[in-house]
Structures are given as C-alpha cells and as structure tokens.
Amino acid sequence: MNPPVFTVNVGNTNVSLALVRTSVEARCGVEDTGSVSVARRGSWPTRAVLDDDPAARAAFLAALAVEPDVPVHVGCVVAAAAPVLARWTASAGRPARFVTHADLPLRVDVPAPERVGVDRLLNCAAAWRRFHRGCLVVDLGTAVTYDLVVAPGVFLGGVIAPGLETLSYALSARTALPYVPPEPTEVVLGRDTPACLRAGLWFGFLGQLEAVVARVMKDDRLDAARPAPPLTLLTGGAAPLVSPHLSFPHEVLPDLTHEGLALA
C-alpha cells in the first residue's frame, strides 16, 4: 500500500477533500492500480474559498490536521482559488502540491495541454492506470465533460456541455419560467409548466448523454482500438442519479478525480 495522500478537488461549484490510499501492482511489466480507498473528509462551496471564509478555512484545516504528516495534492480548475488554498495550507505548515498536466503519466495530444482542465486529465490518467485500455470518461458536474483516453495512455480530447443543474438554472435565469429542480421523471408530456420543464430537462439531458457517447464511439481515431470499444466511465455528482436511466454500458466511479490526484 502506498502512503496516503490528501487530495483536494477544486471544481466550479464545490471543493472536496479526501484521504486516498492506493496500491500499485506490476502486471506483465506494467503498473496497474491495485486497491483504492477514498475517504471523503469534507466539502465546501468554491465560493467560500474564493471569499477566504474563516469558517470554511477552519473546517478545511481541521480535516487536514487529523493526519498531520500526509502530503496534500490539489487539482484546481478555478484559478482564483489556488492562491487562497496555498495560503491556507502554508499557514498550517502543510504546503500543497498543485498538480498540472506535466505531473501525470499521460500524453496530452492537443495543441495546448496546459489549457485543458486538470480535472479532465486526472480522470483520464486514473482511468488509464486502472484499466489499461481505451476509456471515455463522462464527468457529470456543473459542466459535463466527455474525455477520451486510448492506448498507450494518450488523451485525445473531449466535449464540454452544460450540466443538469446548470441547464435548470439557465432557463429560470433567462426567461420568466420557474426554477424546477432536476430529477428523474417518467412523464414525457407534462400537463402543467413544472411537469413540462421537468420532462424537457430530464429527457433532454439523457438525450445529450446518449448522443454524445454514441458519436464519440464512432470517431475515426478509435479504429485502431477495434474490435473492443472504449469503456465508458461515469463520475461526478450527478453520475448516480442518471446512471440507472442510460442505455449504454458503463461503470460509475464517483471518486475518479481524487484517485487521479493520489496517483499524480
């Protein structure tokens, strides 16, 4: 078992902290992820970090203090949050390592690797280390990202689309329509405005997932990976909600980003 790592995933909406323990096994000369244990240690709104909120800072540092000698790895997609977290951890004598694309066992085959969200690359690095085969990682958060990694650990690019909650808020923000919490429904033809909105949001979002995944699977660059198609992996906050309603085969790995941070 490798030494544990505190992993901090800074997303657009929330910051989550976890204590991750991993083991690495050598199989046929290739390092594989063995067992993975992810213990969530707290979550805070990203806004609280940006505001340098004293209560959030105290709670964050208290969670770190439980394991005083464990290194801290941060993946951050909100640039303004990085200096705040750096101050927080340094003040407690726990300087953090902010992971970039250069820290990952992944070849990023796009013109500007440094401009790809590090969470997307962390997901792909963890997926490749786990399975050593092509993977399409779908991260369902504030945005939905679809990212493709193929042999021998090459990130080919991806798709970015609005997340389920984002779509729901957008309608109420840009129209006189009410906000409707996104939730599963079996009713396609609504008989009042909330039911119509709920159907449009839910089935439109499922349709987005089905269509994008199907189109990625037909990408010409996957020909070399035939006959085995990439595995489809779901992660992110909405993954457990939508998983039972999808027609394509997939696995749900809710802590993939934290796993990637631990392996960086």
Q: 150 and 93 in one domain?
A: no
Give the residue from 98, 115, 143 where a domain finishes. Answer: 98
Other Cβ atoms less than 10 A from the Cβ of 101: the count is 21
Report strand pairing: 143-150 vs 135-140: antiparallel
pLDDT, tens digit, 9 for 90 and up, residues 7-58: 999 999 999 999 999 876 555 455 555 688 999 999 999 999 999 999 999 9
- Kindly indicate the confidence band of residue 254, based on its pLDDT and cuts at 50, 70 and 90: very high
Number of Cβ within 10 Å of residue 221's Cβ equals 13
pLDDT over 90, % of the chain:
85
Distances (CA, A) of 192 to 81, 178, 196, 215: 42, 12, 6, 34
pLDDT band at 227 (very low <50, low <70, confident <90, very high): low
Q: How far apart are CA 132 and CA 150, in angstroms?
A: 8
Reported confidence tier of residue 229, pLDDT bands at 50, 70, 90: confident
Residue range 197-207: mean pLDDT, rounded: 96
pTM, full prediction: 0.91
Stretch 186-208: mean pLDDT? 95
What pLDDT shows up at residue 34? 64
Whether residue 81 is found in the same domain as residue 143? no
Residue 168 and residue 241 in one domain: yes
Looking at 48, 81, 98, the residue that finishes a domain is 98
Mean of the per-residue pLDDT values of the chain: 92
By annotation, the residues acting in catalysis are 119
Q: Is residue 120 part of a domain?
A: no
Query: Using CA atoms, how far apart are residues 179 and 7, in angstroms rounded to an integer?
Result: 34
Does 136 lie in the same domain as 252? yes
pLDDT of residue 221: 75
Whether residue 118 lies inside any domain: the answer is: no
Q: Identify the CATH number of the domain in which residue 81 sits.
A: 3.30.420.40
178 assigned to some structural domain:
yes
Q: Is the pLDDT of residue 132 over 70?
A: yes
Domain tally, the chain = 2
Alpha-carbon distance of 114 to 220, in angstroms, equals 25
Distance CA 152, CA 142 (A): 30
Identify whether residues 92 and 152 lie together within a single domain: no
- In this structure, the strands spanning 72-76 and 5-10 are parallel
Predicted pLDDT at 226: 58
**Is residue 169 located within the same domain as residue 88?**
no
Residue 39 has what pLDDT?
93
User: Do 263 and 220 belong to one domain?
Assistant: yes
Which three-class secondary structure string do you get for 142-190?
CEEEEEEEECCCEEEEEEEEECHHHHHHHHHHHCCCCCCCCCCCCCCCC
Of all residues in the chain, what percent carry a pLDDT higher than 70? 94
What pLDDT does 32 receive?
56
| pLDDT per residue as tens digits for the range 101-128 | 999 999 999 999 999 999 999 999 999 9
For residues 179 and 255, membership in a common domain is answered with: yes
User: Domain of 65?
Assistant: 1-98
Pair (40, 93) in one structural domain = yes
Higher pLDDT, 263 or 223: 263
Query: What is the rounded end-to-end Cα distance, in angstroms, of the chain?
Result: 16
- Select from 49, 76, 98 the last residue of a domain: 98
- Does 136 lie in the same domain as 79? no
Judge if 182 and 257 occupy the same domain. Answer: yes
Q: Of 158, 8, 162, which Cα lies nearest the Cα of 71?
A: 8
Say if 48 falls within a structural domain: yes
Predicted pLDDT at 245: 97
Nearest to 179 by CA among 162, 163, 165: 165
Verify that 143 and 260 share a domain, yes or no: yes
136's CB contacts (< 8 A; 6+ apart) are 146, 147, 148, 213, 216, 217, 230, 231, 232, 233
